[in-house]
């Protein structure tokens, strides 16, 4: 992975792509103030350097039939590196777990879990999460509503 020193044009490109992953290269180049071929080269260099991790569509959970979002704080019995990796691999295999973050402090992981309904979440909780090896406790928080949801990071253009 080649390191790229970000200039104002790179930051503008990153900001625009983060806001709209479907933007065309022509629109992106116009916004950045350069022509299309060098813009595409910059995008490719930013991808190669790891600044751009991927592209995806944000789906509406409700419309897709997932009416419940739960954040779960997980405490493990052991925090050995092998046990941490094993838990992370298990989370990767659980389709309802959409995010898995290792934390410092009282809990070891924070998970974002989606389910079709409360019964579906309870089933996942009892059959998979609390039954998982090395899980000592699970504290859940039901998402009521989201007032702000922004992908990525703030990009300083100036």
Return the SS3 of 40. helix
Interval 18-65: pLDDT, tens: 999 999 999 999 999 999 999 999 999 999 999 999 998 999 999 999
CB-based contact 66:97 (threshold 8 Å): no
Q: Three-state secondary structure along 42-83? A: HHHHHHHCCCCCCCCCCCCCCCCCCCEEEEEEEEECCCCHHH
CA angle 83, 92, 47 (to 5 degrees): 115
pLDDT score for 5 = 86
pTM exceeds 0.85:
yes
Q: Which domains does the chain have, with CATH numbers?
A: 8-48 (1.10.10.10), 68-142 (3.30.70.920)
Q: Please, are residues 69 and 145 in contact by the beta-carbon 8 Å criterion?
A: no
pLDDT of 79-130, one tens digit each? 999 999 999 999 999 999 999 999 999 999 999 999 999 999 999 999 999 9
* Tokens read off for 58: 């944000």
């Amino acid at each position: 992975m080649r390191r790229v020193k970000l200039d104002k044009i790179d930051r503008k490109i990153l900001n625009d792509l983060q806001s709209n992953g479907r933007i065309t290269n022509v629109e992106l180049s116009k916004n950045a103030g350069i022509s299309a071929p060098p813009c595409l080269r910059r995008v490719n260099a930013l991808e190669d350097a790891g600044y751009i991790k991927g592209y995806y569509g944000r789906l509406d959970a409700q419309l897709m039939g997932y009416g419940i979002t739960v954040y779960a704080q997980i405490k493990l019995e052991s925090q050995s590196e092998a046990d941490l990796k094993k838990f992370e691999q298990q989370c990767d295999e659980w389709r309802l777990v959409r995010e898995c973050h290792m934390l410092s402090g009282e809990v070891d992981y924070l998970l974002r879990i989606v389910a079709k309904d409360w019964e579906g979440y309870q089933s996942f909780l009892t059959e998979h999460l609390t039954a998982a090896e090395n899980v000592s406790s699970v504290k859940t928080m039901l998402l009521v509503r989201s007032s702000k949801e922004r992908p990525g990071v703030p990009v300083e253009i100036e």
